[in-house]
Amino acid sequence: MASIDRPKILVFGVGGVGTIYLYLLSRVSSPTAVCRSNYEVVRNDGFIINSSIYGNGIRLKPNVVRDCAEATFRDSRPFDYILICSKAIGQDIPDLISPAVTPDHTVIVLIQNGIGIEAHYQATFPNNPIVSAVVYLPVTQRPAGVITHGELERLEIGSYPSSASSEHSEAFTQLIRHAGGTAEHHDDIQLKRWTKLLVNASWNPICALTLCTDANFLLSSPSSSELVSDVMLEICDIAKAHGYTIPKEILELQLGRATARIGNGNGVEPSMLQDVRAGRRMEVEAIVGNAVRMGREKDVKCEKLNMLYLLARALDSQIENKRRTS
Protein backbone atom coordinates (compact mmCIF):
# COMPACT_ATOMS: atom_id res chain seq x y z
CA MET A 1 0.00 0.00 0.00
CA ALA A 2 2.82 2.35 0.82
CA SER A 3 4.36 2.44 -2.64
CA ILE A 4 1.66 4.75 -3.95
CA ASP A 5 2.66 7.77 -6.01
CA ARG A 6 2.57 10.57 -3.49
CA PRO A 7 2.69 8.86 -0.13
CA LYS A 8 1.37 10.66 2.91
CA ILE A 9 4.32 11.15 5.25
CA LEU A 10 4.75 12.36 8.82
CA VAL A 11 8.19 13.29 10.13
CA PHE A 12 8.41 13.07 13.92
CA GLY A 13 11.34 14.94 15.42
CA VAL A 14 12.55 17.72 13.19
CA GLY A 15 16.09 18.39 14.34
CA GLY A 16 18.89 18.34 11.80
CA VAL A 17 18.34 14.81 10.50
CA GLY A 18 14.55 15.13 10.35
CA THR A 19 14.76 18.41 8.47
CA ILE A 20 17.06 17.04 5.78
CA TYR A 21 14.66 14.13 5.10
CA LEU A 22 11.72 16.51 5.27
CA TYR A 23 13.45 18.60 2.61
CA LEU A 24 14.23 15.62 0.36
CA LEU A 25 10.79 14.09 0.72
CA SER A 26 9.10 17.40 -0.02
CA ARG A 27 10.30 16.86 -3.61
CA VAL A 28 8.07 13.80 -3.98
CA SER A 29 5.29 14.38 -1.45
CA SER A 30 3.89 16.98 0.97
CA PRO A 31 5.24 15.73 4.27
CA THR A 32 4.01 17.05 7.60
CA ALA A 33 6.45 17.81 10.42
CA VAL A 34 5.74 17.31 14.11
CA CYS A 35 7.76 20.10 15.71
CA ARG A 36 8.24 20.41 19.41
CA SER A 37 10.79 22.90 20.68
CA ASN A 38 11.08 24.66 17.30
CA TYR A 39 7.33 24.83 16.54
CA GLU A 40 6.84 28.61 16.72
CA VAL A 41 9.90 29.46 14.66
CA VAL A 42 9.22 26.86 11.99
CA ARG A 43 5.52 27.66 11.71
CA ASN A 44 6.27 31.34 11.24
CA ASP A 45 9.45 31.31 9.18
CA GLY A 46 10.10 27.72 8.10
CA PHE A 47 13.61 26.33 7.94
CA ILE A 48 16.73 27.73 6.35
CA ILE A 49 19.09 25.00 5.21
CA ASN A 50 22.74 25.57 4.42
CA SER A 51 24.03 22.36 2.94
CA SER A 52 27.35 21.41 1.41
CA ILE A 53 25.41 19.07 -0.89
CA TYR A 54 22.16 20.88 -1.75
CA GLY A 55 23.31 24.48 -1.52
CA ASN A 56 23.01 27.42 0.85
CA GLY A 57 20.05 29.52 1.82
CA ILE A 58 17.41 26.90 0.99
CA ARG A 59 14.02 27.88 2.39
CA LEU A 60 11.66 25.12 3.44
CA LYS A 61 8.15 25.83 4.67
CA PRO A 62 6.58 22.50 5.61
CA ASN A 63 3.17 21.74 7.08
CA VAL A 64 3.80 21.83 10.79
CA VAL A 65 1.83 20.48 13.70
CA ARG A 66 2.48 20.34 17.41
CA ASP A 67 1.67 16.68 17.89
CA CYS A 68 0.47 13.55 16.13
CA ALA A 69 -3.15 14.05 17.14
CA GLU A 70 -3.16 17.40 15.34
CA ALA A 71 -1.57 15.75 12.29
CA THR A 72 -4.49 13.33 11.92
CA PHE A 73 -7.13 15.92 12.73
CA ARG A 74 -6.26 18.01 9.67
CA ASP A 75 -6.67 15.23 7.13
CA SER A 76 -8.21 11.87 7.92
CA ARG A 77 -6.40 9.83 5.24
CA PRO A 78 -4.01 7.43 6.96
CA PHE A 79 -0.28 8.11 6.95
CA ASP A 80 1.68 5.79 4.69
CA TYR A 81 4.94 6.47 6.53
CA ILE A 82 5.99 7.89 9.88
CA LEU A 83 9.69 8.72 10.11
CA ILE A 84 11.03 8.82 13.65
CA CYS A 85 14.02 11.15 13.55
CA SER A 86 14.11 12.31 17.15
CA LYS A 87 16.83 11.26 19.53
CA ALA A 88 16.29 7.93 21.24
CA ILE A 89 15.77 9.34 24.72
CA GLY A 90 13.01 8.11 26.99
CA GLN A 91 10.56 5.38 26.12
CA ASP A 92 7.50 7.45 25.32
CA ILE A 93 7.83 7.89 21.55
CA PRO A 94 5.51 4.98 20.67
CA ASP A 95 2.79 6.60 22.81
CA LEU A 96 3.38 10.00 21.21
CA ILE A 97 3.10 8.69 17.65
CA SER A 98 0.19 6.30 18.23
CA PRO A 99 -2.55 8.77 17.14
CA ALA A 100 -0.97 8.86 13.69
CA VAL A 101 -0.34 5.12 13.30
CA THR A 102 -3.05 3.25 11.40
CA PRO A 103 -2.84 -0.47 12.23
CA ASP A 104 -1.95 -2.70 9.27
CA HIS A 105 -1.06 0.32 7.18
CA THR A 106 1.40 2.93 8.43
CA VAL A 107 5.05 1.98 7.90
CA ILE A 108 7.13 3.05 10.91
CA VAL A 109 10.63 4.09 9.84
CA LEU A 110 13.18 4.42 12.65
CA ILE A 111 16.01 6.76 11.69
CA GLN A 112 17.72 6.64 15.05
CA ASN A 113 21.01 5.71 16.61
CA GLY A 114 21.75 2.75 18.81
CA ILE A 115 21.02 -0.94 19.07
CA GLY A 116 17.94 -2.83 20.20
CA ILE A 117 15.77 0.23 19.65
CA GLU A 118 13.09 -1.45 17.51
CA ALA A 119 11.57 -3.96 19.94
CA HIS A 120 9.59 -1.36 21.83
CA TYR A 121 7.92 -0.16 18.62
CA GLN A 122 7.15 -3.68 17.52
CA ALA A 123 5.55 -4.45 20.89
CA THR A 124 3.37 -1.34 20.65
CA PHE A 125 2.49 -1.75 16.96
CA PRO A 126 2.56 -5.51 16.28
CA ASN A 127 0.60 -5.12 13.04
CA ASN A 128 2.65 -2.38 11.39
CA PRO A 129 5.71 -2.86 9.22
CA ILE A 130 8.88 -1.53 10.89
CA VAL A 131 11.78 -0.26 8.82
CA SER A 132 15.10 0.23 10.58
CA ALA A 133 17.59 2.75 9.20
CA VAL A 134 21.14 3.74 10.07
CA VAL A 135 21.91 7.32 9.14
CA TYR A 136 25.19 9.04 8.31
CA LEU A 137 24.41 12.73 8.19
CA PRO A 138 26.54 15.43 9.80
CA VAL A 139 24.00 18.12 10.55
CA THR A 140 23.19 20.62 13.29
CA GLN A 141 20.31 22.95 14.04
CA ARG A 142 21.40 26.18 15.70
CA PRO A 143 19.44 28.33 16.39
CA ALA A 144 15.97 26.78 15.94
CA GLY A 145 15.06 26.60 12.24
CA VAL A 146 18.60 27.08 10.94
CA ILE A 147 20.16 23.88 9.63
CA THR A 148 23.82 23.41 8.73
CA HIS A 149 24.61 20.23 6.83
CA GLY A 150 28.03 18.83 5.87
CA GLU A 151 29.10 16.70 2.95
CA LEU A 152 27.54 13.34 3.72
CA GLU A 153 24.01 11.95 3.44
CA ARG A 154 23.55 8.20 3.56
CA LEU A 155 20.82 5.90 4.80
CA GLU A 156 21.26 2.16 5.27
CA ILE A 157 17.84 0.56 5.33
CA GLY A 158 16.37 -2.83 6.19
CA SER A 159 13.30 -4.49 7.59
CA TYR A 160 12.74 -5.25 11.27
CA PRO A 161 13.04 -7.99 12.18
CA SER A 162 15.45 -8.90 9.41
CA SER A 163 13.38 -12.00 8.75
CA ALA A 164 10.30 -9.88 7.95
CA SER A 165 9.29 -9.20 4.35
CA SER A 166 11.48 -6.58 2.69
CA GLU A 167 8.58 -5.19 0.68
CA HIS A 168 8.24 -2.02 2.74
CA SER A 169 11.93 -1.43 3.42
CA GLU A 170 12.64 -1.77 -0.32
CA ALA A 171 9.81 0.61 -1.18
CA PHE A 172 11.14 3.16 1.32
CA THR A 173 14.64 2.81 -0.13
CA GLN A 174 13.23 3.58 -3.58
CA LEU A 175 11.29 6.53 -2.22
CA ILE A 176 14.44 8.10 -0.72
CA ARG A 177 16.33 7.55 -3.98
CA HIS A 178 13.48 9.01 -5.96
CA ALA A 179 13.68 12.07 -3.70
CA GLY A 180 17.38 12.44 -4.50
CA GLY A 181 18.79 10.88 -1.32
CA THR A 182 21.37 8.14 -0.95
CA ALA A 183 19.86 4.91 0.28
CA GLU A 184 21.11 1.34 0.37
CA HIS A 185 18.95 -1.64 1.18
CA HIS A 186 20.37 -4.38 3.40
CA ASP A 187 18.92 -7.82 4.02
CA ASP A 188 20.20 -7.68 7.58
CA ILE A 189 20.36 -4.11 8.81
CA GLN A 190 21.49 -5.19 12.30
CA LEU A 191 25.05 -5.78 11.08
CA LYS A 192 25.07 -2.14 9.94
CA ARG A 193 23.73 -1.03 13.34
CA TRP A 194 26.50 -2.92 15.15
CA THR A 195 29.12 -1.50 12.81
CA LYS A 196 28.07 2.07 13.55
CA LEU A 197 27.69 1.26 17.25
CA LEU A 198 31.33 0.18 17.38
CA VAL A 199 32.28 3.81 16.96
CA ASN A 200 29.35 5.45 18.70
CA ALA A 201 29.24 3.34 21.89
CA SER A 202 32.98 3.72 22.48
CA TRP A 203 33.79 7.31 21.55
CA ASN A 204 30.54 8.92 22.67
CA PRO A 205 30.76 8.16 26.42
CA ILE A 206 34.55 8.52 26.50
CA CYS A 207 34.41 12.00 24.99
CA ALA A 208 31.33 13.06 26.96
CA LEU A 209 32.90 12.00 30.27
CA THR A 210 36.28 13.57 29.60
CA LEU A 211 35.19 16.67 27.64
CA CYS A 212 37.82 15.66 25.08
CA THR A 213 37.47 15.39 21.31
CA ASP A 214 38.59 11.97 20.07
CA ALA A 215 42.01 13.31 19.08
CA ASN A 216 42.48 15.08 22.40
CA PHE A 217 41.62 11.93 24.29
CA LEU A 218 44.24 9.96 22.36
CA LEU A 219 46.78 12.66 23.16
CA SER A 220 45.97 12.66 26.87
CA SER A 221 47.88 9.50 27.80
CA PRO A 222 50.04 6.82 26.18
CA SER A 223 47.44 4.18 27.14
CA SER A 224 44.34 5.97 25.97
CA SER A 225 44.20 4.32 22.57
CA GLU A 226 44.39 0.92 24.27
CA LEU A 227 41.28 1.78 26.27
CA VAL A 228 39.35 2.75 23.15
CA SER A 229 40.47 -0.39 21.41
CA ASP A 230 39.51 -2.57 24.42
CA VAL A 231 36.03 -1.06 24.48
CA MET A 232 35.65 -1.61 20.74
CA LEU A 233 36.72 -5.24 21.14
CA GLU A 234 34.09 -5.72 23.84
CA ILE A 235 31.46 -4.35 21.45
CA CYS A 236 32.69 -6.76 18.75
CA ASP A 237 32.31 -9.63 21.25
CA ILE A 238 28.75 -8.62 22.11
CA ALA A 239 27.86 -8.33 18.43
CA LYS A 240 29.42 -11.73 17.77
CA ALA A 241 27.43 -13.34 20.57
CA HIS A 242 24.34 -12.06 18.78
CA GLY A 243 25.48 -13.49 15.44
CA TYR A 244 27.14 -10.41 13.88
CA THR A 245 30.82 -10.35 13.00
CA ILE A 246 32.16 -6.82 12.67
CA PRO A 247 35.19 -7.04 10.36
CA LYS A 248 38.50 -6.42 12.19
CA GLU A 249 39.56 -3.95 9.50
CA ILE A 250 36.72 -1.67 10.53
CA LEU A 251 38.04 -1.53 14.07
CA GLU A 252 41.54 -0.72 12.87
CA LEU A 253 40.24 1.79 10.37
CA GLN A 254 38.24 3.61 13.04
CA LEU A 255 41.15 3.83 15.47
CA GLY A 256 43.41 4.92 12.62
CA ARG A 257 41.05 7.73 11.66
CA ALA A 258 41.01 9.21 15.14
CA THR A 259 44.79 8.90 15.37
CA ALA A 260 45.20 10.69 12.05
CA ARG A 261 43.17 13.59 13.41
CA ILE A 262 45.78 14.17 16.12
CA GLY A 263 48.12 15.38 13.42
CA ASN A 264 45.82 18.03 12.01
CA GLY A 265 44.87 19.30 15.46
CA ASN A 266 41.14 18.83 14.87
CA GLY A 267 39.32 15.91 16.25
CA VAL A 268 35.69 14.96 16.31
CA GLU A 269 33.23 16.07 18.91
CA PRO A 270 30.78 13.15 19.11
CA SER A 271 27.12 13.91 19.69
CA MET A 272 27.18 13.04 23.41
CA LEU A 273 29.99 15.52 23.97
CA GLN A 274 27.99 18.16 22.09
CA ASP A 275 25.02 17.29 24.30
CA VAL A 276 26.97 17.62 27.54
CA ARG A 277 28.37 20.96 26.43
CA ALA A 278 24.88 22.21 25.58
CA GLY A 279 23.33 20.79 28.77
CA ARG A 280 21.13 18.36 26.80
CA ARG A 281 20.23 14.76 27.62
CA MET A 282 22.36 12.09 25.92
CA GLU A 283 21.29 8.88 24.18
CA VAL A 284 22.97 6.74 26.85
CA GLU A 285 20.53 3.83 26.92
CA ALA A 286 20.06 3.40 23.16
CA ILE A 287 23.76 3.63 22.37
CA VAL A 288 25.52 2.18 25.44
CA GLY A 289 22.99 0.67 27.89
CA ASN A 290 21.31 -1.59 25.37
CA ALA A 291 24.69 -2.91 24.20
CA VAL A 292 25.68 -3.72 27.80
CA ARG A 293 22.36 -5.46 28.41
CA MET A 294 22.73 -7.47 25.20
CA GLY A 295 26.21 -8.46 26.41
CA ARG A 296 24.88 -9.59 29.77
CA GLU A 297 22.18 -11.60 28.08
CA LYS A 298 24.86 -13.73 26.43
CA ASP A 299 27.36 -13.70 29.33
CA VAL A 300 29.85 -11.60 27.39
CA LYS A 301 32.48 -9.88 29.51
CA CYS A 302 32.21 -6.15 28.89
CA GLU A 303 33.48 -4.52 32.06
CA LYS A 304 34.94 -1.44 30.44
CA LEU A 305 31.85 -0.74 28.42
CA ASN A 306 29.73 -1.31 31.53
CA MET A 307 31.80 1.18 33.48
CA LEU A 308 31.43 3.78 30.73
CA TYR A 309 27.70 3.08 30.74
CA LEU A 310 27.28 3.59 34.49
CA LEU A 311 29.35 6.78 34.51
CA ALA A 312 27.59 8.22 31.44
CA ARG A 313 24.24 7.35 32.96
CA ALA A 314 25.18 9.19 36.16
CA LEU A 315 26.26 12.22 34.16
CA ASP A 316 23.02 12.11 32.19
CA SER A 317 20.99 11.97 35.41
CA GLN A 318 22.69 15.17 36.58
CA ILE A 319 21.89 16.86 33.28
CA GLU A 320 18.29 15.78 33.68
CA ASN A 321 18.14 17.11 37.28
CA LYS A 322 19.57 20.41 36.23
CA ARG A 323 17.06 20.76 33.39
CA ARG A 324 14.17 20.02 35.74
CA THR A 325 15.17 22.61 38.25
CA SER A 326 16.15 25.38 35.84
User: Any contact of residue 290 with ligand NAG (CB under 6 A)?
Assistant: no
Q: Would you say 140 or 220 has its CB closer to ligand NAG?
A: 140
DSSP-based three-state secondary structure for 178: helix
Q: Binding string to ligand NAG for residues 81 to 120, with x set by CB under 6 A, is what?
A: --------------------------------x-------
- Cis omega (within 30 of 0) on the bond before 161? yes
Stretch that binds ligand NAG, among 6-14, 184-192, 196-204, 233-241 (CB under 6 A): 196-204
Q: What is the nearest approach in angstroms of ligand NAG to the Cβ of residue 203?
A: 7
Q: CA-to-CA distance for 24 and 41, rounded, in angstroms?
A: 20
User: Any contact of residue 148 with ligand NAG (CB under 6 A)?
Assistant: yes
**Interface with ligand NAG in residues 221-240 (CB under 6 A):** none
- Comparing CA positions, the residue from 275, 250, 294 lying closest to residue 114 is 294
User: Any contact of residue 196 with ligand NAG (CB under 6 A)?
Assistant: yes
User: Any contact of residue 200 with ligand NAG (CB under 6 A)?
Assistant: yes
Q: CA-to-CA distance for 254 and 242, rounded, in angstroms?
A: 22
Q: What is the nearest approach in angstroms of ligand NAG to the Cβ of residue 267?
A: 12
Q: Are the CB atoms for 106 and 128 separated by under 8 Å?
A: yes
User: Any contact of residue 210 with ligand NAG (CB under 6 A)?
Assistant: no
- Kindly write down the DSSP assignment for every residue of 197-263, as one continuous string: HHHHHHHHHHHHHHT--HHHHHHH-TTHHHHHHHHHHHHHHHHHHTT----HHHHHHHHHHHHHHHH
Q: Binding string to ligand NAG for residues 45 to 84, with x set by CB under 6 A, is what?
A: -----x-----xx---------------------------
Strand order in the sheet with 55-60: 55-60, 47-51, 146-149, 139-141
Q: CA-to-CA distance for 95 and 93, rounded, in angstroms?
A: 5
Q: What is the nearest approach in angstroms of ligand NAG to the Cβ of residue 258?
A: 11
**Positions in the binding site for ligand NAG (CB under 6 A):** 50, 56-57, 113, 136, 146, 148, 196, 199-200, 204, 270-271
